[in-house]
Structure 1
Amino acid sequence: MSALTLSTATLSRAGGRDANEDAAAHRDGCWVIADGLGGHPGGEVAARIAVDRVLGALAGAPLPSGAALAQAIADAHRAIQEHQARDPRLERMRTTLVLLVSDGERARWAHVGDSRLYHFRGGRLRFQTADHSVPQALARAGEIRPDEIRFHEDRNRLLRTLGNEGEARPTVLETPVAMESGDAFLLCTDGFWEYVTEGEMEVLLAKSASADDWLAALAARLLARAAPDHDNYTATAVFAA
């Protein structure tokens, strides 16, 4: 099988906030998004450290193993903790993280927190990551429906982030997915997926000829219903052809 061609579109906006504490970057088969927490400038610093460390460790290599993804995230986690120790003003900074790696034939991903990855095949949602959050835990226990996670009163209570005490504990896809032409991936922060449902993602994907078109349509849907003071929002779309 020959490698597929992967095209990318990314947007990152402050939304209704004064500063954008999200970070996003991609290079050589690695895509990373982080949503900084802990207040400006702490969240912004944590997100940038995480993205830079992970991208530096994984970009350009043959498809990294699950262990390599976990190690890159652990290294980013320790780098944030070390920065906290050097600067007490940033001791509360944290960040979520979601990443995708691909060699054009296979894909693997990992995440910490509630920034998500969605994988679409044949225009339909095939997989989405499960948040490390209180509402996700409630949904898993059957106490709320999965569609109630979006606006649950405890949605911002995260169970795992980079910069917390202890280990990072990412969720990593150990067995890579064999990619097919037409596959699409969406990586995004909660400020993005909060306002766009999975069904809408599918509908807009079917109407989009490119990653740029899809991302623009998704962002338009977000802005049509977001409150004036809505959160930062960041997303990356990846198309395989």
Structure 2
Amino acid sequence: MNAPDASDDPTPLALPRVPRLRVACAMQSDTGCVRQHNEDAVGCMIPRDDDPLALAGALAVVADGMGGHAAGEVASHIALRSMLHVYYASAGPPPQALAAALVAANDAICERAGADPACKGMGTTCSVVAIVDDRAYVAHVGDSRIYLLRGTAFRQLTQDDSVVARMVRDGLLTEAEARRHPERHVLVRVLGTKEFRPAVAPRGMPLQHGDLLVLCTDGITDQIDDATLASVVRSHAPVDACTKLVELAREAGGADNATVAICSLQAEPLAAQPDPSIRTTRETRAH
């Protein structure tokens, strides 16, 4: 007796269905109480479902520029534009696309600094998260940060590229000592250097319904401790949380520009999603 041919089975195998995560993003940036210019930049791209770019997912970026006068603002906005453009123009997987975007941003900043004396020596931090399907891909340079709030657990996904942060990791300083150290803002990696090499995690981090990703510059984290930051994000809607965090940074002295973006992940009801086990056709017209 011959084994049954699967192709003759009139009942197709149903593919497992899992909720799709929808991304929403709230953002706010403030000059603070001391600085004359806002050298931070923040942006988010969430393509529509019918946009071919939707396959690349959503992208959120924060950057904190440096360089004096308006040069820091130039550097951070170059980084933002480069990340958004190159990431979505890349045909590679998310880690490869993020690495290419970081390199392009670094090259563009170096080129502008070399061509414009007013921008000589400028640089910027850059913290980026790409959310593709149910995974987050993180790219980072500098001391801006990305956090994950999942239920009651709040943790930092990035490591600060600073002299003091390295001392903490080496056991030479405590976290409390690091917060008061006079060299806490001395960075060892930024965009805008000739020998820059991107460091992007090769695997994405699984996401869940209800997760919140928080991206912020040190104008937030220098003024607000992690426990307070987590409490605000947990107890407010993302838009209100952004406003509250900026308010708290200003109340603490507002010594620096303060920028935050909060990405929320919500599962779309299965009934609203197309069933992948059902094949559909669309009408096409010849031109």
Instruction: Give the structure-1-normalised TM-score.
Output: 0.92
Q: Percent identity?
A: 33
State yes or no: 1:23 paired with 2:41: yes
User: What is the correspondence of 1:1-241 to structure 2 with a 5 Å cutoff?
Assistant: 1-15=18-32, 16-28=34-46, 29-59=58-88, 64-167=93-196, 169-208=197-236, 210-226=237-253, 230-241=255-266
In structure 1, C-alpha distance between the alignment counterparts of 2:92 and 2:264, rounded to whole Å? 18
| Structure 1, unaligned runs of 5 or more | none
Aligned mates of 1:11, 1:40 — CA distance in 2: 22
State the AA in 2 paired with 1:42. A
Distance 1:110 1:130, change over 3 A: same
Q: Which residue of 1 aligns with 2:54?
A: none
| Structure 2 residues not aligned, in runs of 5+ | 1-17, 47-57, 267-287
Q: CA deviation at 1:37?
A: 0.4
Question: What is the CA–CA distance in structure 1 between the aligned matches of 2:203 and 2:82, rounded to whole Å?
Answer: 23
Q: Which moved more, 1:58-67 or 1:186-195?
A: 58-67
Cα distance, 1:125–1:110 mapped onto 2, change above 3 Å: same
Residue deviations 1:81-140 (CA, integer Å, cap 9, x gap): 111121122111111100011024111111111011111111321343111000001001
| Equivalent-residue separation in structure 2 for 1:185 and 1:226 (angstroms) | 25
Greater Cα offset, 213-222 or 43-52: 213-222
Give how far 1:217 is off: 2.4
Cα displacement (A) at 1:218: 2.0
SS of corresponding position for 2:251: helix
Q: Aligned-pair distance for 1:207?
A: 1.5
1:66–1:42 Cα change, 3 Å? same
Give the counterpart letter for 2:28 in structure 1. Answer: L
Asked whether the 8 Å contact 2:72–2:122 carries over to 1, the reply is yes
Q: Is the 8 A contact 1:30 1:60 kept in 2?
A: no
Distance 1:63 1:220, change over 3 A: farther
Mapped to 1, the partners of 2:235 and 2:111 lie a distance apart of: 46
Instruction: Quote the Cα distance in structure 1 between the aligned partners of 2:117 and 2:105.
Output: 18
Offset of residue 64 of structure 1? 4.0
In structure 1, what is the equivalent of residue 279 of structure 2?
none
Paired with 2:169 and 2:129, the residues of 1 have a C-alpha distance of: 24
Change (3 A) 1:71 1:55: same
* SS of the residue 1:5 aligns to: strand
Instruction: Give the Cα separation in 2 of the matches to 1:222 and 1:118.
Output: 17
Q: Deviations over 1:22-79 (max 9, x none)?
A: 1111112011111110012211111111100001122487994322211110111011
Q: Equivalents in 1 of 2:243, 2:66: separation in Å?
A: 26
- The alpha-carbon deviation at position 8 of structure 1 amounts to 1.1
Counterpart AA for 1:44: E
Paired residues, what number? 237
